[in-house]
Structure 1
Amino acid sequence: MNMKYFLILDDSGQLHPNYPFSDVFVYGGILVREKDYHGINTDYKKFIDRIRKEKDVTSELKTSMMKNSLRRRVLNKLKKYNFVQVFVSVKVSSLVRLDFSKSRRVTAFKNYMVRRLIDELMQKNILPKDCDCLNVYIDNQNVAHSSIDSLEDYLIHYFNEDNMYNIHKEYTTTSFKSDFKVSYKDSSSNYLIQAADILANTKSHVLCGKNDLRRFLKKGYTILKLPNENVY
């Protein structure tokens, strides 16, 4: 029987040292089985559309527009679904060797963050090793055109044990022969990308010191802090 999963991510912050609002860049979102994906997507869409009607909002319900009470309401809804909340973060000021002036280098590091998150999920057996296909959906707002194919190729090559990426592998991974399909989605029409947006934004606030928000994340969430579990 085919086993497919969806990894749905959005980012919060900027991967740039001059960003004035935060020194943390985060990818956050959900990992969900295909058999649960469609029902959750339908239910969450109805939930958000109901809120938009209440608030008389005709466009996308942006996290940046939400008061704390509405943020809590949405996060409490997301805690009830049968999926895992997942996060990977980096302290930007620690990336002393990354040349931020070269967009290709920045894109490569973002790809690395997503790969490290998948590695972490696999190591913890949250993402089963018999997964046939991992569909990765990422918000397209801040995506450079050059990265559209690069992440998919990178993941396929990295997790193929015969490939050159594995010659100097930093982490011992067992074989993970899943196929990968990466798609960049418009958040205005993709409600689970919107869910990833509020999760990434909330985790970013937590990492920047707003610890009271942590209780609104689902228990058992996965967080990988880079570089290598830095304390922040």
Structure 2
Amino acid sequence: MRNDLLYTILKEGVVVYTRLSASNFWHQNIVYKVENNSVSLALIPGYLESIIMTGQTLTIKLTNEDIEYLFIGHISEIRPHFPSLITVDIKNIKDLKNCRVFPRYDVYVAASIKSENSDDDHFAIIHDISLSGMAFYSKKDFSIASEQLNLTIFLPNKNIIVAKGTVTRKMTYDSYIDYGMSYTDMQEENNNSLYDFFSMLEVEKSKLRDTFFKSIKKHLP
């Protein structure tokens, strides 16, 4: 394991995405502290909803323009009193080449998708999105590369984005299919709305960092 990455990439105040082993959900979080091959993070409501316990595996993800880093470890401590936190003992570190042209965001956004050859709308959940493409879950079986899909994306800020795209990958699970998609057509107005949404997400990250440095850090053990 490259311990140097743990201390040079994961620093206090860095916003990351995290996932418990029993969940598909990526939770945004912030690094409280890194020491002795362990990382401390906020104990967020999403962990409680997922029934977090010591001994579980947790993955910490941090992506830059070139590389996606995955820090994988076991939860060794859960501290419920203020400032509530969890400690993860890191056991493995992976660095993967980031082939995305634009930054991607882990989100959970509702969408409607239909083939140009059909009038039927199909519900989808977008879980990863950028200015060039997205990943989504759906029960509908779409073909890779062979059909043009019409997308209607319902953003949390109440904006609606319309675009077209084709499937680039798919992975089938018991109750849904996980797709990757590249946009083939998006009007400038929709592109600008998507960019504004990403800007809003960056503002939320800044607020999270500000709260940590102003109100949390001084209370850490």
* TM-score normalised by structure 2 residue count: 0.28
Q: Which has the larger radius of gyration?
A: 2
> Whose relative contact order is higher, 1 or 2, with alpha carbons under 8 Å and at least 6 apart?
1
Structure-1-length-normalised TM-score: 0.27
Greater helix percent: which structure? 1
Q: Which has the higher strand share?
A: 2
